[in-house]
Amino acid sequence: MTKPLDKRFNAQDASAIDASVLETFPYEYAGKEIVINISTSEFTAVCPWSGLPDFATVEVDYIPRNVCIELRSLKYYLLTYRNVGIYQEHAVNRILDDLVRCAKPRWMRVKADYNVRGGIHTVASREYGRGRRRP
């Protein structure tokens, strides 16, 4: 009889998430609404319970107020999650909070569509801003 695998991989805590790498640039058309859609299929964090990786497509949609999020810095920011043990739902909340604090948009939505794990598919999303615009 084989013994159940009692393996757990080490994970970093949320203090490893580095929002200080986020940068912005001036939106030259302030007052004119534009919807910016950003998507990456390369988001990775780890399950805080098992340490196993979670992979997701992260989508950020927003209407800028005065600044836009610089994409290279967003990529660096999302990479800081790579070894962080964080629940899927918490990752979406943290990403939205950090991006809103950085860019102060009129409206923003963050959505994470996670790969199937253990036969379960999870999509988590959260919005910021009044009127809940759905571009």
Is 47 a known active-site residue?
Answer: yes
Helices (H), 2-131: 71-79, 88-103
Task: Considering only the C-alpha atoms of the chain, give the largest distance between any 2 of them, rounded to a whole number of Å.
Answer: 69
Which of the following is catalytic: 13, 18, 54, 97? 54
Nearest to 82 by CA among 59, 110, 54, 60: 54
Structure tokens at 32: 């004119």
Structure tokens at 121: 């598919």
Residues contacting residue 125 through CB under 8 Å, at least 6 positions apart: 92, 109, 110, 111, 112
Is 102 a known active-site residue?
Answer: no
Which of the following is catalytic: 47, 97, 98, 113? 47
Q: Write out the catalytic residue numbers.
A: 47, 54
